[in-house]
Amino acid sequence: MLVIGAGYIGLELSTVYAALGTRVTIVEMMPGIMPGADRDLVRVFEKRVGPWFEEILTETTVKAVEERTGALHVTLSGKELENPEREFDTVLVTVGRKPSIEGIGLEKTGVRTTDKGYVAVNVGRQTDDTNLYAVGDITGPPQLAHKASHEARVAVEHALGRNAAFDPYAIPAVEYTDPEIAWCGLTETQAEEEGRDVAVASFPWQASGRAATMGRSEGLTKVVIDPETERVLGVGIAGTNAGELIPEATLAIEMSATAEDVARTIHPHPTLSETFMEAAEAFYGLSTHIYRPKRR
């Protein structure tokens, strides 16, 4: 099977099919898989699951797919690609979602769309045509189910005249692979792109007793911190059950918690949730289970 796209959908489905015994090749046009996620988190996934795949071809695009007797003939384009002509039984396209807003008469309303083709809305999810609201994928990224349902609540409250706004500090994203990758708030990659000065403290799961007893010590929990205020700006987790751990981090960011707040919150032992506390402790050089001198 050829899977086009190494975003979360492509990687989730590639993992499922590979686990069932399908020989999977993944093609991704960006320099790395899981674009947007921090590379140290991605490495946790790559190390464990990477060998399951025939090949992961980055900086590669699909030029053509042609059906020939009994096979799909695929032409790839990418640098250092030895063999751009391949044959597959199946091709799974996991890229190219776009807003479906044609043919519903929007042009007869006051609704405005953005230059990227999304429906423009205000903080109450109200369009420029004030009787019309829009929520979910058509209002733009992140295109996630929990973002859509949260927006829907805000829209209903706003329409009822209540003082409601969609203005989150952090929206969690989870890749449901094994290990899971989850993050919320500011990523280290984003901070670098924006030239923003941040401190990053991390806790490797090799030092987590719970991860050891689960046989899943490959994980990593990291916290992105404002060096001046010590506020938690973002959290990334790679490891089993990362999706179950990320809401605590989301709450911390929404409540403007500092690294000290997290470090001083008593977490049950032995749990994977301690890795968040210990990453925050590591910022101060005070993690019980790893020696990390204070970095600032």
Using Cβ positions, the residue closest to ligand FAD within the complex turns out to be: 136
CA 10 remoteness from chain centre: 13
Question: Which one, 133 or 205, has the nearer CB to ligand FAD?
Answer: 133
Q: Rounded distance, CA 294 to CA 263, Å?
A: 14
The verdict on 29 binding ligand FAD (CB under 6 A) reads: no
- Judged by CB under 6 A, the residue of 77, 143, 190, 271 near ligand FAD is 143
The verdict on 83 binding ligand FAD (CB under 6 A) reads: no
Query: Which residues in 154-193 contact ligand FAD (CB under 6 A)?
Result: 176
Q: Rounded distance, CA 266 to CA 1, Å?
A: 47
Angle of the 8-19 helix axis to the 39-49 helix axis, nearest 10: 20
Number of residues that bind ligand FAD (CB under 6 A): 11
Angle of the 242-254 helix axis to the 274-283 helix axis, nearest 10: 50
| Neighbouring residues of 269: CB distance < 8 A, sequence distance ≥ 6 | 209
**Minimum CB distance to ligand FAD, residue 115 (Å):** 20
- Judged by CB under 6 A, the residue of 20, 145, 160, 266 near ligand FAD is 145
Q: Rounded distance, CA 109 to CA 134, Å?
A: 13
The verdict on 296 binding ligand FAD (CB under 6 A) reads: no
- Judged by CB under 6 A, the residue of 47, 112, 146, 269 near ligand FAD is 146
- Judged by CB under 6 A, the residue of 100, 108, 115, 215 near ligand FAD is 100
Strand order of the β-sheet with 85-88 is 60-68, 71-78, 85-88
The verdict on 95 binding ligand FAD (CB under 6 A) reads: no
Give the footprint of ligand FAD on this chain (CB under 6 A): 9, 100, 104, 136-137, 143-146, 148, 176
